[in-house]
Amino acid sequence: MKITIMGTGYVGLVASACFSEMGNIVYGLDIEYDKIESLKKGVMPIYEPGLEELVLKNQSKGDLIFTSNLKEGLDNSNICFIAVGTPMGEDGRANIQYVLDVARDIGQLVNHDLIVVNKSTVPVGTADEVKATILKELKERNLKLNIEVVSNPEFLKEGSAVEDFMRPDMVIIGSDNEKVIETLKELYAPFTTNHERFITMDVRSAEMTKYASNAMLATRISFMNEMANICEKVGADVNNVRRGIGSDKRIGYNFLYAGCGYGGSCFPKDIKALIKTAAHNGYDANILKAVEALNNEQKLSLVRKIVNRFGENLSGFTFGIWGLSFKPETDDMREAPSVVTINKLCELGAKVQVYDPQAMEVAEKYYFEDNRKVKYAKNKYDALNSAHSLLLLTEWKEFRSPDFEEMSKRMNNKIIFDGRNQYNKETLREIGFEYHQIGNGYKGS
C-alpha cells in the first residue's frame, strides 16, 4: 500500500519505518524542513533501539520517502496517518491544534477519497472534529469526497517501540465502516498474524482506550509506590510484597515496581488530560487525581531520604547521579524524576555529577544548561569521584552489576540511595555500603 504519515516524531517515525519495512511505500512528512533534511541524511531526531537501522534500510530501498510536501504524499496515498504532537494545554487538557491544522491542510489539498487515521493521543470526540474540519475545507473548494476518519491509538513503549510495533499486543481500530476496517486489517496483517490482536470498536471507545490504558498503568505504579511508603512505616519490604501479590494471576507482576515515580511524554500528560476531560463532562476523577498527586510527591522520595541522612543544608555535598532519562533505552527526559531530584538537590546547596548512557546531551541542552552545579561525567565511575553518595534514578542495564570495589575507591562515603531498588541490600551491607531503598522499612534503610 501507499500511505502518508504526517509527523516524524516518536510515533510517526517508528510507524513510518515499520510500515515501510513490510513493503509499503511510506511518505514520512513533517513541516519542519530541517528535520526532514536531517532524516534524508540519516540523522535521527530521537534515540530508539533498532529505529535508525530500519530508517536507513528502507530509505535506501526507496520505500521510505521523507518530504515536507503534504500534497506529494496525499496525491500518492489512499491512507493518511496523523501522528503529530498533542501537548498539554494551559488548562491541562490535550491541545489538538496541531491535529486540526493537519486536518485543515488535508481538506485544502486532497483530491480523492481518503482514509484518515488518527494515531495521535487525542481526547474523545476528536475524530468528529477532524472530519468536520476536512469537510469544511472541501465544501469551500466545492468538492465532494468520501473521507473516513478512523481512530488507531498507539501503544508503544519508549525503549522498545520498534519491537512493540512489529509484534503488537493489540491493534485497535475505531470505525463503523466495514470497508475501511478491511483495508486497515490488510495493512496491519503482517503485524497481526494472530487475528485476536486486531480489535475493532466504535471511534470514541478507541479514543478512550488509549487514555484508559495509560491511566491503568500509571495507577499500578502509584499504587505500588503507596505500598512502598507504607512498608517503610511498618517495617516491611516492598520487594517481598511485590513478589507475593504478583504471583496472584489476577494481578501479575507488570508495572508493580516501586521507585521514585513515573515520567515520560505519555503518563503525566495523559493522566492530567483525562482528569480535565472528566471534569469538562461533569465528573470528578478522584482516583486519577490521587495517582497524579502521589507521583509528584514520589519524585522527591530520594531527596527526603538524603535530607533525613545529611540535613537540609547540603552545601559542600556532592552527589553522583546514575540515570537521567525517565526509563532505560531512551534519551527522553520529559517529566523524569531526575529533573525534579537534581533541581531540588541544587536548591538545597548540593552539587551533582551526572551520567546517563544516552541522555547527557539532552540534559545539558534542555534541562540544566545554566546550572553550574551540574557536572557531566564521561562514565558512571567518574560520576562518583569524591561523591558523598550515589543516587540511582534510571535502571539502565550497565548499572545492574557495577564494580563496588571501584566505587568504594572513588566515593567519599559508601552510601547508595537507590530509586529503582536494583541491588541486594544484604550483599551491599556485607561489603560496607550504607544502602537506602524505596519501600524497605528495615532498620538502616
In this prediction, residues 34-40 reach a mean pLDDT of 96
Q: For the chain, what is the mean pLDDT? A: 95
pTM of the full structure: 0.91
Please report how the helices 238-246 and 203-234 are oriented relative to each other, as an axis angle in degrees rounded to 10.
140
In this prediction, residues 138-152 reach a mean pLDDT of 97
Is-contact 95 86, C-beta < 8 A? yes
Does position 13 have pLDDT exceeding 80, yes or no? yes
Strands 374-376 and 351-355: parallel
Distance CA 349, CA 352 (A): 10
Does position 444 have pLDDT exceeding 60, yes or no? no
Residue 6: partners with Cβ closer than 8 Å, 6 or more residues away = 12, 29, 30, 70, 73, 80, 81, 82, 83, 84, 102
Is-contact 271 214, C-beta < 8 A? yes
Distance CA 176, CA 16 (A): 25
When mean pLDDT is compared across 87-96, 128-137, 160-169, 249-258, the lowest value belongs to: 87-96
Phi and psi at residue 144, to the nearest 5°:
-115, 105
Cell 575507591 sits on residue: 409
Percentage of residues of the chain with pLDDT beyond 70: 98
What are the strands, taking DSSP E only, across 22-123?
25-29, 64-67, 79-82, 114-118
What pLDDT sits at residue 342? 98
Catalytic residues, by residue number, are 266
Q: How many CB atoms are closer than 10 A to CB 372?
A: 8
Terminal alpha carbon distance of the chain: 58
* pLDDT tens profile 255-308: 999 999 999 989 999 999 999 999 999 999 999 999 999 999 999 999 999 999
Does position 442 have pLDDT exceeding 80, yes or no? no
